[in-house]
Amino acid sequence: MFPHISTELLINTLYPGLILGSFYYGYVVTQLPGGWLGSQFGGKYLFGFGVLLTSVVTMFTPAAAHHSVGMLLLVRVVEGCGQVIFFSLLILIKRSLFKNVHVY
C-alpha cells in the first residue's frame, strides 16, 4: 500500500489484504443466490441491478475509507455481491444468444 494513503487513512500493514479480500468474501457468498436469481428473474433486470448497485456503492468507497476500516470492508463486500451477478448471468446470456446453435 502507498505510504501516504496508509498514514492518511490510518491503515496499518495488516489491513490491505483484508480490504482487497473482502470483495471476494461478498463475491463467493452470493455465487449460488446470484445464479438462482438470474434463472428466476432473467438476465436483463438483474444485470441492470448489478451495474446500478456496484456503481452506487463504488461512489461511497472514498467516504467509507475516511470513516473507518470496518465501513470500507462493508462497502467492498457489497461491491462483491453486486459483481457476482455479471458472472452468473454469462450462462443465461450465452443461452439466449445461441439457442439455435448446435455443436457436434
Instruction: Render pLDDT for 36-80 as a digit per residue (tens, 0 to 9).
Output: 887 787 777 788 888 898 999 999 988 888 888 889 889 999 998
Domain count, the chain: 1
Convert the chain into a string of H (helix), E (strand) and C (coil): CCHHHHHHHCCCCCHHHHHHHHHHHHHHHCHHHHHHHHHHHCHHHHHHHHHHHHHHHHHCHHHHHHHCHHHHHHHHHHHHHHHHHHHHHHHHHHHHHCCCCCCC
In a domain, 103, yes or no: no
In a domain, 82, yes or no: yes
In a domain, 102, yes or no: no
In a domain, 61, yes or no: yes
User: Could you tell me the pTM of the whole model?
Assistant: 0.73
Residue 13 and residue 38: Cα distance in Å, rounded? 39
In a domain, 56, yes or no: yes
Q: Which domain holds residue 15?
A: 3-97
